[in-house]
Structure 1
Amino acid sequence: MDVLKRIKGSTLMETLVATVLIVVVFMMASLTLNTLFSTTITTNDEPVRQELLFLQYTFDHGKLSLPYYGELDAWDISVQEQEVQGTKTIVFLAVNTINNREVTYTK
């Protein structure tokens, strides 16, 4: 009757300790992923880069009058003509009002 041989199991305390360890590991992983995702969302500047590229396109085709000022969510956008060492350049600038990040294109 080898089939009915008794198999040694774990005690209740071992099971509770293992459960607590698993919960702690999943909690730490969840907090890390939450921080990673929130940082990625707050530092995402792709929409404002697309807007600046669109403004460059409209300026190239004569549809944008200077100076230009606008807003996109938390970004203040400006397009101005500046003179640097006798050369006129067009500066496309976006400044985030929350964290003061800047995105700049010059033409």
Structure 2
Amino acid sequence: MVILKKIKASSLNEVIIATVIIVLVFAIAVAILNNILINIAHKREGIIDKEMNELIYSYSNGELKLPYHEESEDLSIQCIKLKSNEIPAIRLRILNKKNKKVVERKILVDE
């Protein structure tokens, strides 16, 4: 008769705990990756916000002559004067050529 050696195996509790730990590590890794990708997207939008703030500053200091149009590799910038309902305003429009996102702002001006 052959004597079989007893093989030490993990209990069900140990397997469940190990699985939970692996799932938690995976969930944390996915959350970190998602945060990194969102930050990259916001950084790209930060370029548009920076350009928009520069245009507003230039206009408020009299350095920007309207109508204004500028093309670069990534951005298309347009500034025009609006007069609707006798309220003078300017429209600033920036188009990101890579992702086709358009950001527009209307600013009321005193003239």
Could you tell me which runs of 5 or more consecutive residues in structure 1 were left unpaired when the two chains were aligned.
1-10
Is 2:50 aligned against 1:50? yes
Identity over aligned residues, as a percent?
16
User: Match of 2:61?
Assistant: 61
Q: Secondary structure at the match of 1:39?
A: helix
Correspondence 1:68-87 to 2 at 5 A: 68-70=68-70, 74-87=74-87
* C-alpha RMSD of the superposition: 2.9
User: Match of 2:5?
Assistant: none
Could you tell me which runs of 5 or more consecutive residues in structure 2 were left unpaired when the two chains were aligned.
1-7
Runs ≥4 residues deviating over 6 A: none
Work out whether residues 94 and 104 of structure 1, in 8 Å CA contact, stay in contact via their aligned partners in 2. Answer: no
> What is the rounded CA distance, in whole Å, between the counterparts of 1:86 and 1:73 in structure 2?
36
> What is the rounded CA distance, in whole Å, between the counterparts of 1:77 and 1:65 in structure 2?
13
Count of residue pairs brought into register by the alignment: 97
**TM-score of the aligned structures, taking structure 2 as reference length:** 0.63
Is 2:10 aligned against 1:13? yes
Is 2:33 aligned against 1:34? yes
User: Match of 1:102?
Assistant: 103
Residue type at the aligned position of 2:69: Y
CA gap of 1:72–1:35, structure 2 versus 1, over 3 A, is: farther
Work out whether residues 91 and 104 of structure 2, in 8 Å CA contact, stay in contact via their aligned partners in 1. Answer: no
User: Match of 2:3?
Assistant: none
**Aligned-residue offset at 1:31:** 0.9
CA gap of 1:33–1:13, structure 2 versus 1, over 3 A, is: same
